[in-house]
Structure 1
Amino acid sequence: MRPYTIRGKTYYPETVKVGDTQSGLASWYGPGFHGKSTSNGERYSMYAQTAAHKTYPMNTMVKVTNTNNGKSTIVRINDRGPFVAGRVIDLSKKAASDIDVVARGTAPVKLEVVGFYGKTATISTPAKDRVFLGGNFMVQVGAFKNRTGAEIYKAQYDGESGYKTAVKEYHADGLYRVFLTGFKSEDEARDFALNTHISGAFVVRQ
């Protein structure tokens, strides 16, 4: 969340909340950066569901929709960029392939903040401005290429801390995702994701 300067311009990372949106051009980066360090110290993989954004907090989960074709994908912010006028997000090659951006290089997109991964979930606006009531939040606890694996995981965690599991198929990436449902607010879902023993759990909005 510290300000940083690129080419003489200073950027100030911002707090965001689930439901925030932004529009602009998406681009992608691939082989030339594969294996190199990202801004948060990870190794960039062009096959991962990640992206670069100039100001969103690291580990923000973002739904990216190509407004030309309606295709969407979900990515985790782990890098900074793109530092080109008009561009709002730089996708991994995998994420760009999900929404047909690779061939054209860029595409108009809509971004929507859908959740937070790990401890970055504590970075947000004041609770009075960010809590949504009505049970609209889930916690993703797994993702599988085949439904059989997802159903096994669903059965394993059904009833965990009193919450029910559900499996949803995402056509954009072909994965079956397992969610815990029944949370009454964003805060309740975040508290669970931060304290659960289930590795990799994060909050999404339905």
Structure 2
Amino acid sequence: MSRLAVGLLALLMAGCSGLVPEPQDGPGRVIDDPMAIPDAVPQSVPASRYGNPEQYEVFGQTYRVMDSAAGHRERGIASWYGSKFQGRRTSSGEPYDMYAMTAAHKHLPLPTWVEVRHLDTDRSIVVKVNDRGPFADDRIIDLSYAAAAKLGMLERGTAPVEIRVVTPDEPTRGDYWIQMAAFRDAGNARQLARQLQEAPLSASPVIREGGDGLHRVRLGPLPDSAGVDQLRAELENARFSPGHVIIPADSSD
């Protein structure tokens, strides 16, 4: 059952009896290392037949589904949803998995992939939009529990964000990365990523595993050389090594 249908059913039940409490939403098991969760990967797939009506109505308000997501950007407040909806049918027909990198949006075609950038920290993630919501006026996107954990907004519950549609041809917003280290031991890579995550840096750490068995800890993506210089200064202030700069074509370094 979709989140939209769950909400309408809950209102109906409460209105009829007044005795059926709405289940409480919340987190699931603790995610020890959110940065180890891979971002969603943009794909070229058919639109969901189930999740893209021309328009739909929730709580007396009509929402229209966009004909195309191309070039879409917007800023607003992100929230997240979790255990209350785990396993239930999303608006696209897929079961909701709170540990996957997914999200809900009121207007974007399903599925669409978007980059979500935290405007306070500049950390960014990529999620697959496969559900409808949130239906609070001041919120533009509802992230899964895992996505909210990786973006660093679980404790506060909401965050100011910018979202931008991404495609398989252009999945991220920058071409530059700073590689901090490469480890044979995945545990060592996760430990360094946690340390970087806790530092006051404007880019998030990610772990990339290559065909050579090395686990590379990188910071990025960065839009240009100015972004690289800024991040290296932040690393110096936080007493980390400056790392070395790479671009995607140099991903085997």
TM range (shorter): 0.5 to 0.7
C-alpha distance in structure 2 between counterparts of 1:60 and 1:169, whole Å: 26
**Which of the pair is proportionally richer in strand?**
1
For structure 1, the residue ranges without an aligned partner over 5 or more in a row are 117-136, 153-166, 173-178, 181-206
Q: CA deviation at 1:148?
A: 2.8
Q: C-alpha offsets along residues 18-47 of structure 1, whole Å, 9 cap, x if unaligned?
A: 432100000000111111110011010111
Which amino acid in 2 is paired with 1:12? R
Candidates 70, 74, 78, aligned match of 2:130: 78
Do residues 87 (structure 1) and 149 (structure 2) align?
A: no
Q: CA deviation at 1:169?
A: 5.4
Structure 1 residues 30 and 168: CA distance shift in structure 2, 3 A: same
State the identity as a percent.
40
Alignment partner, residue 41 of structure 1:
93
Question: TM-score when scaled to structure 2?
Answer: 0.48
Structure 1 residues 115 and 32: CA distance shift in structure 2, 3 A: same
Structure 1 residues 170 and 46: CA distance shift in structure 2, 3 A: farther
Q: CA deviation at 1:90?
A: 0.1
2:121 partner SS: coil
C-alpha distance in structure 2 between counterparts of 1:147 and 1:37, whole Å: 33
Which amino acid in 2 is paired with 1:76? K
Alignment partner, residue 108 of structure 1:
160
8 Å Cα contact 2:102/2:128 also seen in 1? yes
Q: CA deviation at 1:16?
A: 3.5
Summarize the alignment of residues 7-156 of structure 1 with structure 2, pairs less than 5 Å apart. Answer: 7-115=59-167, 137-138=169-170, 146-149=208-211
For structure 2, the residue ranges without an aligned partner over 5 or more in a row are 1-51, 173-205, 222-247
C-alpha distance in structure 1 between counterparts of 2:58 and 2:129, whole Å: 18
Which amino acid in 2 is paired with 1:27? S
C-alpha distance in structure 2 between counterparts of 1:55 and 1:46, whole Å: 21
8 Å Cα contact 2:117/2:163 also seen in 1? yes
Which amino acid in 1 is paired with 2:148? A
The count of residues paired between Structure 1 and Structure 2 equals 136
Which amino acid in 2 is paired with 1:22? E
C-alpha distance in structure 2 between counterparts of 1:24 and 1:139, whole Å: 21
Question: TM-score when scaled to structure 1?
Answer: 0.59
